[in-house]
Amino acid sequence: MPPRQRYTEIAAHLRQQIRDGALAPGDELPSEAELCRQFDAARGTVRQAVAVLRQEGIVSSGQGRRTRVLDTVPTQPFDDNISFTQWCLASGVEPGQVTQWVTKRKADPHLALLLDQPDDALIVSVLRLRTMNSEPAMVERLNYAPEFGAHVLTFDTDSGSIYQHLRDNGVQIDSATRIIDALPANQTDADLLGVEVGTPLLRVRRRAFTPDGTPIEASDDRYLYDKASITTTSTRTSPSNTSLVTVDSVSF
C-alpha cells in the first residue's frame, strides 16, 4: 500500500481528535505555528491538511479568524463512497480482504438487468471478506459487466482495492446509486463474519456507472451492525448527501 503523504497524516490526526471529542464543535484548531511545531512540518503542508478538513465540512474557513470545528462527521468524497479501502483509510482504519472466490459465470436475470446485459451474458463475480484493523467487518459480493470484469480477472483481489485497479486501467466511474437496508445473516455471511445465522447486518447495494451511464458494477455489501452507520447531510444546493461512516465516527 502506498505511503501517505505528510499532509494526509496531519489531517488524519486532527480528524481523529475531532471524532474522539478532544476537539469539539466550536473549539479552535491549534494555530498553524503550533501545528508546524507539533508535526515538524512546513506551513504549506499544514495548510493543505486543514484544507482537506475544510473540504470535508468539519472545520470553518477561518477567514480572518482562527479555524474552528464545525462538526464531528465529515462529508464523504465520491471515491470513499465507492471504495471500501479508501473509506477505511480516510477513517483511520486499516482495511483488509480475504477473497473466497473470483469466477466468470452466467448472469441470473436480475443481475443481467442490473448490469444491462443479455440473459446469457458471462459476468465476473467476486466474494470477499473485508476486514477493519484485521477484524471481520463486511462480506462483499461484487458483479461486473464483461468488459470491466476482464480487468478484475487480471487482478490479485487479495492485494487491495478493485476500484483503484479499475481506475488504473482507465475505467471512469462517474456515478453510483446505493440502496441501504438490513437483513439477517445467512450461512455464508455467518461463517465469514463469525456470527450466528440471523444476526442483523447492514446491507448496501450499489450500482456504479461510467459517464455515459453504462453500468460497471452491481454489488451487495453486508456489514456487521457495529462496524458502520449512515449519515445524511441535506442542503438547498445538495438535497441529499449520504455517507457511510464507521460507527466510531458518530455518537448516539
What pTM value is reported for the model?
A: 0.70
Name the nearest CA neighbour of 85 among 74, 97, 72. Answer: 97
Name the band, by pLDDT with cuts 50, 70 and 90, for residue 63: low
Name the band, by pLDDT with cuts 50, 70 and 90, for residue 252: very low
Q: Is the pLDDT of residue 178 over 70?
A: yes
CA distance 125 to 144: 6
Per-residue pLDDT tens for 17-56?
887 889 998 999 999 999 999 999 999 999 999 988 887 7
- Helices and strands, counts by H and E, the chain: 9, 8
Instruction: Judge contact between 102 and 153, C-beta under 8 A.
Output: yes
Cα angle 243, 249, 252 (rounded to 5 degrees) comes to: 100
Which residues make Cβ contacts (< 8 Å) with residue 183, sequence separation at least 6? 200, 201, 203, 222
What pLDDT was estimated at residue 6? 87
Per-residue pLDDT tens for 80-108?
667 888 888 877 789 999 999 999 999 99
Q: What is the mean pLDDT of the chain?
A: 86
Q: Is the pLDDT of residue 110 over 90?
A: yes
- Domains (range + CATH), the chain: 6-56 (1.10.10.10), 78-249 (3.40.1410.10)
Instruction: Judge contact between 161 and 84, C-beta under 8 A.
Output: yes
Residue 99: CB atoms within 10 A of its CB come to 14
Per-residue pLDDT tens for 187-230?
999 999 999 999 999 999 999 999 999 999 999 999 998 888 77
Write out the H or E segment, with its range, that includes residue 147.
helix 146-153
3-state secondary structure of 85: helix
Q: In the chain, at which residue ranges do the beta strands (DSSP E only) sit? A: 95-106, 122-132, 135-144, 175-184, 200-209, 215-224, 228-233, 241-246
